[in-house]
Amino acid sequence: MTEKNTFQIGVTFHSFTNEYTSYKWSFEDMMQLAAQLGGGVEIVGPSHHRGFPEVTDEFERTFKSSVERNGLIPTCYGTYADPYMLPHRDLTPDEIFEYTIPQIKGAAKLGFPIARLQYFTHEVAEKLIPYAEKYNVKMGYELHMPLMIKSEYSQMLIAQVKRISSEFLGIIPDGGIFGRSITRRTLNMSKGYGVPQNLFDKAVALWGQQTPLEQAVETLKEMGADEDTIAWVDFVWDMNGWSDPNDMAEFKDYLIHFHGKFYSMVDGEEPNLDYEGVVKALLDLGYTGWISSEYEGEPTDTLAVVQAQQAMLKGYIKKHTG
C-alpha cells in the first residue's frame, strides 16, 4: 500500500464552536484556517448559515467565493432532523422528510458531495434517495455515540443501507465510538453527581469490561447506587464507546466519510480514542475519502490542537503504509 492510496484529512467547523460562538473567529476566518488544515471543509447547517434549512443565494455566493479564494474542497454538509424540536409534540416522519429535502438541495447548492444524516431519518431515508440522486448528493448515517457499530440501532441502520444498496445512502462513522478509556472530563463529572468512590471504581471497571449499560446499572444498584449515580453512569455509557475499528469492514462498501472526533491531545496522542486502530482499519479497507478533524473538548488553542491531531493521523498513515 502506498501513501497515494490513503484517505484525506480536513476539518469540520464544529471544531471551532468556541471561537465562532464567541465571535473570536468569523466564518471567513474559519475558511482561511481550513486551508491550513488540509483544505477539506465541512459545515453544520443550522450552526453555520442563516435561513436553515434553506441555503440562501447570498450564503451560496459568500461560501463559493471563499472556497475559490482559499482553494478549499467542500466535503460534507451536516443536516439535522431533530424530531423533538417542537415544544408540544414530535415531528412526524412526513415532516422530517419535508424538512430534509431542502437540506439536501442546499448541500448540492454549496457544492457538497455528501450530506450527514442523523439516525432519526431512517424511516424516510428510502423516500429521500430520489432527491439525493436528483441533486447528486450522497447521504450518510452518522454512527455517533451511543450508536456503537454493534449496537442494535446501528445494526438496523447498516442492514437498511445494505438492503437498499444505493450509492446515495451510506455510513459515516464518528471517532467517538472507538474508545479505549473514559474521558477525564466525564470521569470528573462524577464529583458533581456525588458518586461514592467504591461505585465510581466499579463503574469504570464495568465500562472497561464492555459491560452492557443495563447490566452495569443492575450491578451498581445492587451495590446501593442512587438515582444521581445512575444518571452519571448513563452519561458515561452514552458518551464513551468501545467499538472495534476493524468492524468497519461490515459496511466497507458504504463508508462514505469519517468524523474525526477527538477530545484532547496529550504528548501527540489522543489518550481516550483508538486512532491508530482507526487509521490502520481505514487503510486496510482502502478508504480514500475524507476524515474531518472534529475537536469536542475543553476551550483551548483550537487551531493548535487540531493541527496536533492531524499530525498524529499523518504519523499513523506513515507507520502503516511503509
pLDDT in tens, 262-272: 999 999 999 99
| Upstream peptide bond of 53 is cis (omega within 30 degrees of 0) | yes
Q: Say if residue 222 is in the same domain as residue 289.
A: no
List the domain range (segments joined by +) for residue 225.
Answer: 185-237
Q: Say if residue 158 is in the same domain as residue 89.
A: yes
Rounded CA gap, 232 and 193, in Å?
Answer: 7
Q: Say if residue 26 is in the same domain as residue 149.
A: yes
Q: Say if residue 141 is in the same domain as residue 21.
A: yes
Grid cell of 34 as nine digits: 481550513
Q: Say if residue 189 is in the same domain as residue 177.
A: no
Rounded CA gap, 230 and 221, in Å?
Answer: 8
Q: Say if residue 195 is in the same domain as residue 168.
A: no
Q: Say if residue 43 is in the same domain as residue 17.
A: yes
Query: Rounded to a whole number, what is the distance in angstroms from the first to the last CA of the chain?
Result: 8
How many Cα atoms sit within 13 Å of 87 on the Cβ side?
0
CB 236, CB 183: distance < 8 Å: no
Neighbours of 115 (CB within 10 A): 28
Identify the pLDDT of residue 1. Answer: 36
Q: Looking at the 3D structure of the chain, how many domains does it have? A: 2
Low-confidence ranges of the chain (pLDDT < 70): 1-4
Neighbours of 75 (CB within 10 A): 24
Picking from 237, 272, 307, the residue at the C-terminal end of a domain is 237
Identify the pLDDT of residue 5. Answer: 76
* CATH number for position 132: 3.20.20.150
Grid cell of 80 as nine digits: 439535522
Identify the pLDDT of residue 4. Answer: 52
Kindly report the backbone phi and psi dihedral angles of residue 210, in degrees, each rounded to the nearest multiple of 5, phi listed first: 55, 40
Q: Say if residue 154 is in the same domain as residue 209.
A: no
Picking from 171, 206, 237, the residue at the C-terminal end of a domain is 237
Task: With H, G, I as helix, E, B as strand and everything else as coil, classify residue 242.
Answer: strand
Q: Say if residue 166 is in the same domain as residue 78.
A: yes
Q: Say if residue 20 is in the same domain as residue 93.
A: yes
Q: Say if residue 191 is in the same domain as residue 316.
A: no
Global pTM reads 0.95
Residues comprising the chain, all counted: 322
Q: Say if residue 52 is in the same domain as residue 191.
A: no
